[in-house]
A and B are shown apart, each in its own frame.
Chain A
Amino acid sequence: MSGSAIMMGTAFLLPIAAAWLALERWWPGGPTQRSDRLLRLSLAGPFGAGLSSLFFFVWALAFDPSGRAMVIVETVVLFLAVIILFLMIFRNKTREVTACLPKSSSTAVSESLFPGRLINIVACAGIASLALVSFISRLLESPHGGWDAWAIWNLRARFLYRSGPFWTDSFSPELFWSSPDYPLGLPGFVASGWKFLGSETVLIPMLVAIVFFLAIGGLLFASLRCLTGQSAAVMGLIALTGTPLFIRHAAFQEADVPVAFFFLATTALMATYDNDTTRHRGWLVLAGIAVSLAAWTKNEGLLFLLALATARVTLRAFQKKWQQLGREGLNLLLGAAPTLAVLVTFKIRLAPPSGFFSQLSWDTVCEKLFDWSRYQETAPAFFKAMSTFGGSMGVLIIITLILVGFERSGFRQKRWLSGMIVLGLMLIGYFFIYIVTPERLSWHLATSLNRLLLQLWPMTVFLVYLNLREVGASKSRTG
């Protein structure tokens, strides 16, 4: 194996291994299930990427990022972390391996149904393989990625890697067209990979895209398998990977799929928390990490953070459970605080004013909010984009939901309600961003609406299938 392959492996595997072992060690409570191993593995890739990117930024801020010292220190720190975590897990080998949920009765039913289970496995494996082939072929076709990838994310990674002591030139106002105020989650990880390798190659951003593509599929499957059952997991995975827009944008190396991953991770972890009768605070800490990494990936992550906080406050206010709300807020903050501190530092010290907000004044916002013609243009665009999203996959999903059926009691459960409120608030937020946008409205809608909806698509699929009735099950589940 060549030296560069070893360094590329180190750049990717060390942070992912450290994140995976940390998840293994501190995974919240519950009885054993196979699928939560996949859940941990799916979270480990993007969490490791986030860790590496944060390390790169903090190092660059504190020291000169041009030398090899950063690589040496990061390798030593992560290697030690891996060894220590491995020993901690090894010593606790007798402890019960934990999982997200008790096996539901319906899952047991499905496993006894030979034809249904076999068809699930064949359909899932077939579509997942075809999706992987489609994704890889598209990735190879555009190794530099789509427009946003080379004009924003990979451009910024090049600045971070190539500039040495002048890395802050990357945030020059002269580069206003490349959104220099965007956070560094994705470019930081790519630049870190090039640092380890000691050279610049398109293989690194391509590998990052592969990590997120596999992780988002794995996370959706595993979380639905844990919370609902096998049929929901299979149909959710098929619905997501069968969406052409998802495949194209994942291969374009844009930040929309990574941020969609963190939106999904936060939603799934919060749903798991709401479903866990022990109310283990570990789910909240993990959700806090996920939502803060969303904000470290794209500015839309901050809106998601706000939507999540609003949803939780609304739900707890209805129940008048203020003490529980405080506990939830503290634990979410515990997970989110380190990344948010780095993000705030970035925004205050380096990021130029956002091109979007700097062009808005109170007067122009009010004027646009009361301009009826903007609603007449935006609402139909939203309706059209949502109804045709994913090659009409949405329509078919509704048909299959009617065919398979769903658990009506699930629509009253907090695990579903919380996610739906967040989803609704995000859609409202995106809608009003278009209403007040300083850009030409038709151009802004045409160039970004599908990508914004794509960010919410994995969590939408998750929420749609969360209450699916297991194939062959007739009784309501508890949860």
Chain B
Amino acid sequence: MDVSTFLRSRWRGIAGILLVSALAAYNLLGVVSWNRLRHPSDLDTNEISTYIRRFDELRDTLRFYRVAGYRDDGQDPAGWFLAQYAHAPTVLVQGAEPSVVVANFHSDTSTMKQWVEDNLRLVQDFGQRVRLYEGLGQ
């Protein structure tokens, strides 16, 4: 088949479909998470589940409070947002004014940790650097 016949025929339409399909298949193969497909039922092994599991015990204690303070030593607000995601419906506000304060530390030597330990009274240590303190407003 010469080029002009090809261009006039319905085969060019078929070529179009094959071309889009080839690029789509190439794109999709780059998106598939093969590792996850090998363990499809394991929904707990992911970054977010692991991070918020640290708060499970605290959440039971905190559920009687509608508002709690929040202090952490991270540079990224993600720690605060994830703590809020874990503790909803308690609203976590930045600061130490509310009657209780959630402390979520990532380091044992941070300035914020030192400040919290010097100024607030510890209510309970839940392990994994998650603690509950009495707030300044108490």
A residues lining the B interface (CB < 8 Å) = 113, 115-116, 119-120, 123, 126-127, 130-131, 133-134, 136-138, 140-144, 150-151, 154-155, 158-159, 162-163, 166-167, 169-170, 172, 174-175, 177-178, 202, 231, 234-235, 238-239, 241-244, 247-248, 390-393, 396-397, 399-401, 403-405, 469, 471-472
CA distance A178 to B25 in the complex (A): 36
Please give me the residue from chain B that is nearest to A133 by CB atom: B32
Chain A residues closer than 8 Å to B32, beta-carbon distance: 130, 133-134, 137
Cβ-closest 10 pairs across A and B: A242-B24, A471-B13, A400-B16, A163-B89, A403-B16, A472-B10, A137-B33, A158-B88, A123-B21, A134-B31
Q: A174 → chain B, closest Cβ, in Å?
A: 5
16 contacts between A and B (CB under 8 A): A127-B24, A130-B25, A130-B28, A134-B28, A137-B31, A137-B37, A140-B43, A142-B48, A172-B91, A177-B77, A239-B20, A391-B27, A393-B24, A399-B16, A400-B20, A469-B13
Q: Contact between B91 and A169 (Cβ–Cβ < 8 Å)? A: yes
Q: Contact between B82 and A150 (Cβ–Cβ < 8 Å)? A: yes
Please give me the residue from chain B that is nearest to A239 by CB atom: B20
Also in contact, A396 and B85, with CB within 8 A (given A138-B33, A141-B46, A403-B12) = no
CA distance A139 to B88 in the complex (A): 23
Interface residues of chain B: helix, strand, loop or mixed (majority):
helix
Select one of B17, B27, B67, B77 contacting A393, CB under 8 A.
B27
How many pairs of A and B residues are in contact by the CB < 8 Å rule?
A: 162
- Interface hits, B78-109 → A, CB 8 Å: 81-82, 84-85, 88-89, 91, 93
**B15 located at the interface, meaning its Cβ lies under 8 Å from any Cβ of chain A in the complex:** yes
Residue-wise interface mask of B (1-36) relative to A, using a CB-CB cutoff of 8 A (1 in contact, 0 not): 000000000101111111111011101111111101
Select one of A142, A235, A247, A248 contacting B16, CB under 8 A.
A235
Also in contact, A472 and B33, with CB within 8 A (given A134-B28, A169-B91, A396-B20) = no
Q: Contact between B89 and A158 (Cβ–Cβ < 8 Å)? A: yes
Counting chain A CB atoms within 10 Å of each CB, which of B17, B24, B28, B77 scores highest? B24
CA distance A471 to B17 in the complex (A): 10
Q: Contact between B17 and A231 (Cβ–Cβ < 8 Å)? A: yes
Q: Contact between B13 and A116 (Cβ–Cβ < 8 Å)? A: yes
- Interface residues on chain B, size class: 35 or more
Chain B residues closer than 8 Å to A177, beta-carbon distance: 77, 81
Interface residues of chain A: helix, strand, loop or mixed (majority):
helix
Q: B83 → chain A, closest Cβ, in Å?
A: 11
Select one of A141, A162, A172, A238 contacting B17, CB under 8 A.
A238
Chain A residues closer than 8 Å to B21, beta-carbon distance: 123, 126-127, 238, 242
CA distance A19 to B7 in the complex (A): 46
**B110 located at the interface, meaning its Cβ lies under 8 Å from any Cβ of chain A in the complex:** no
Also in contact, A140 and B36, with CB within 8 A (given A116-B10, A123-B18, A403-B19) = yes
Please give me the residue from chain A that is nearest to B67 by CB atom: A174
Chain A residues closer than 8 Å to B82, beta-carbon distance: 150
Chain B residues closer than 8 Å to A120, beta-carbon distance: 17
Select one of A143, A172, A393 contacting B23, CB under 8 A.
A393
Q: Contact between A137 and B36 (Cβ–Cβ < 8 Å)? A: yes
Q: Contact between B18 and A133 (Cβ–Cβ < 8 Å)? A: no
Chain B residues closer than 8 Å to A116, beta-carbon distance: 10, 13-14
Also in contact, A141 and B33, with CB within 8 A (given A175-B84, A239-B24) = yes
Select one of A163, A169, A235, A242 contacting B27, CB under 8 A.
A242
CA distance A247 to B49 in the complex (A): 22
**B40 located at the interface, meaning its Cβ lies under 8 Å from any Cβ of chain A in the complex:** yes
Q: Contact between B13 and A231 (Cβ–Cβ < 8 Å)? A: yes
Given contacts A166-B66, A471-B13, 7 further A-B contacts (CB under 8 A): A140-B36, A141-B36, A144-B48, A150-B48, A154-B85, A155-B85, A404-B13
Chain B residues closer than 8 Å to A130, beta-carbon distance: 24-25, 28-29, 32
Chain B residues closer than 8 Å to A243, beta-carbon distance: 27
Q: A168 → chain B, closest Cβ, in Å?
A: 10
Chain B residues closer than 8 Å to A238, beta-carbon distance: 17, 20-21, 24
Also in contact, A244 and B27, with CB within 8 A (given A115-B14, A140-B43, A154-B85) = yes
